[in-house]
Amino acid sequence: MNPRVKVEDTPEAWEVVESRSRFEGRVIEVVTDTVRMPRDEIADRDYAVHPGSVAVLALDEQDRVLLIRQYRHPTRHLLWELPAGIRDVAGEALVTGAARELAEEAGYRAGTWYTLVDLFSSPGMSDERIRVFLARDLTKIPDEENGFVHEHEEIDMPVEWVPLPDAVEKVLMGMIHNSPSVAGILAAYAASVEGFALLRPADAPEA
């Protein structure tokens, strides 16, 4: 590795000559930006503007990962995933949103939170940011206290606890495909080698 090259993603914004909205839906907007390339002429780039997401890798005292199964229409698949949701509350701390998703989708609370991994879901076609948290010290929320009403794809979502090494194997065998789930499972397994000592706090800033 070249010691003069810093292998770290860095913010940079090239000049946008023009921006045109192509479509605006409930969650995303599709735009075309005409971008001035620093060493070339201008070029159009189409992408989806997304509010961002959070996901939760909940790990119990037996080092089992909590997974839920949800229908994802664009892929025509039932996917095993981490509890997750859109950042749709203005000004809300990311970890607060993650805790809400864990409670609503899986019915659990966590006493300890860490930032596990940050990712851009598909940086060539969307600006979506996803933060995956590690949640530990879990407690089940009694049904009478969890008033969230599931609808649409969230009705009858099964919840399964999978040992972390088994979850890694399922990722590598092509049995789990959801991107924050893949990233979170592999990151948790890697971080467990050092006893999770290298993880950032839950309120760590995003790049």
pLDDT tens-digit series, residues 147-184: 666 666 666 788 999 999 999 999 999 999 999 999 99
Q: Are 202 and 114 within 8 A, CB to CB?
A: yes
146, 116 Cβ separation under 8 angstroms: no
- Judging by beta carbons within 10 Å of its beta carbon (0-12, 13-18, 19+), is residue 51 exposed, middle or buried? middle
pLDDT 10s digits, 75-131: 999 999 999 999 989 889 999 999 999 999 999 999 999 999 999 999 999 999 999
Catalytic residue at 81?
no
pLDDT at 67: 98
Catalytic residue among 151, 154, 169, 206, which?
154
Q: Starting from the edge strand earliest in sequence, which strands make up the sheet with 159-163, in order?
A: 77-81, 64-72, 159-163
- Of 138, 144, 13, whose CA–CA distance to 63 is shortest? 138
Query: What pLDDT sits at residue 198?
Result: 93
Domains of the chain: 16-49 (no CATH), 53-195 (3.90.79.10)
